[in-house]
């Protein structure tokens, strides 16, 4: 399975913060925002990843992430000339995906929770159809909303409805078989002028090829598009890390514990970040790491 991180968009809801910098490079507590979706794909076992950015921002991401080898992944880059909707990622990334299955994650989404790594790997192993997630929120009308039958089967997905049929929304993480490339190519812009990801999901739903995984109360999902949600996300990460002494979405640690990189490669990051608290954490991991310890969650 290949992965796509969509880190385009203009970030106008965060102006003036995002006038000179991509939203996805803004720090969320002690790490750039882009580390969080990258870590999610790594937890799913995805190691061949395309990062889609705005044309004038690609070089900044290259300086930060390089070719991905320090994380044991292969990173490619593409640009989205204009924000044409989430489903446009499969048009921009068609050549990259080739004949493989693909997972798309939005560059401003954080997923965290006990056991979520196992869930992601199980979903990534599915050979056909599409899988999306459902998460309960207090303000569903701001998202793609799931409507369910009495027996719990998904009936439809409505994009930002004024009268939501449930409080379960679709977070920005989507797993597809290769048919998604052709489905996306045939989409027409919605009334909002965008190629809607909800319509792609409804295509799979109508053919009974859509699986909905529920993210329960033990999982946290945040999207970061406003100053308030940036603060909420940073506060959550700070609280978790200070309380547990463990880093959330540290790609170097994930890579080491998963065997994506050697201890020698990991030590290069220890040296690179030695003057920061992040580097001190990496040193602790390096000194205490045992290949026989439990998996990274």
Tally the residues of the chain. Answer: 297
List where CATH 3.90.550.10 sits in the chain: 2-249
- CATH topology for 2-249 is Spore Coat Polysaccharide Biosynthesis Protein SpsA; Chain A (3.90.550)
DSSP 163-202: S-S-SEE--SEEEE-TTHHHHHHT----TTSS--HHHHHH
DSSP state of 294: P
Half-sphere exposure of 273 (CA within 13 A, CB side): 20
Least Cα distance to 58 among 84, 24, 100 occurs for: 24
pLDDT in tens, the chain (297 residues): 999 999 988 888 899 999 889 999 999 999 999 999 999 999 999 999 999 999 889 999 999 999 999 999 999 999 998 888 999 999 999 999 999 999 999 999 999 998 899 999 999 999 999 999 999 999 999 898 999 988 888 998 988 888 999 999 999 999 999 999 999 999 998 888 889 998 999 999 999 999 999 998 889 999 998 999 999 999 999 999 999 999 999 999 999 999 999 999 999 999 999 999 999 999 999 998 764 444 444
- What sign does the CA torsion over 137, 138, 144, 145 have? positive
Half-sphere exposure of 50 (CA within 13 A, CB side): 23
Predicted TM-score (pTM) above 0.75: yes
For residues 285, 269, 28, 223, the Cα torsion angle rounded to the nearest 10 degrees is -90
Judged by DSSP in three states, 27 sits in: strand
CA dist 134 and 195 (Å) reads: 21
CA dist 111 and 117 (Å) reads: 10
- The 3-state secondary structure of 124-173 reads HCCCCCEEEEEEECCCHHHCEEEEECCCCCEEEEEECCCCCCCCEECCCE
Contact between 282 and 252 under an 8 Å Cβ cutoff? The reply is yes
């Amino acid at each position: 399975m290949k992965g796509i991180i969509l880190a385009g968009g203009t970030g106008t809801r965060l102006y003036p913060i995002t006038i000179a910098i991509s939203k996805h490079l803004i720090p969320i507590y002690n790490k750039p925002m882009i580390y969080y979706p990258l870590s999610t794909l790594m937890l799913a076992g995805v190691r061949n990843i395309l990062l889609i950015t705005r044309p004038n921002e690609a070089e900044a991401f290259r300086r930060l992430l390089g070719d991905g080898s320090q994380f044991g992944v292969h990173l490619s880059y593409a640009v989205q000339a204009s924000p044409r909707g989430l489903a446009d990622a499969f048009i921009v990334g068609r050549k990259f995906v080739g004949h493989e299955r693909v997972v798309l994650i939005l560059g401003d989404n954080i997923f965290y929770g006990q056991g979520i790594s196992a869930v992601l790997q199980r979903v990534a192993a599915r050979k056909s159809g599409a899988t999306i997630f459902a998460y309960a929120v207090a303000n569903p009308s701001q998202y793609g909303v799931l409507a369910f039958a009495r027996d719990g089967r998904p009936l439809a997905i409505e994009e930002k409805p004024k009268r939501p049929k449930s409080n379960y929304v679709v977070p920005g993480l989507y797993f597809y078989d290769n048919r998604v490339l052709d489905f996306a190519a045939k989409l027409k812009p919605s009334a909002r002028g965008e190629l809607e990801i909800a319509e792609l999901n409804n295509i799979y739903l109508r053919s009974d090829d859509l699986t909905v995984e529920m993210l329960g109360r033990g999982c946290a999902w945040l999207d970061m598009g406003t100053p308030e949600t940036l603060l909420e996300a940073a506060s959550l990460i700070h609280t978790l890390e200070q309380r547990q002494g463990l880093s959330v979405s540290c790609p170097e640690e994930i890579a080491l514990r998963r065997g994506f990189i050697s201890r020698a490669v990991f030590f290069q990051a220890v040296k690179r970040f030695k003057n920061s608290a992040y580097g001190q954490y990496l040193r602790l991991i390096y000194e205490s790491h045992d290949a026989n310890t439990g998996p990274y969650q």
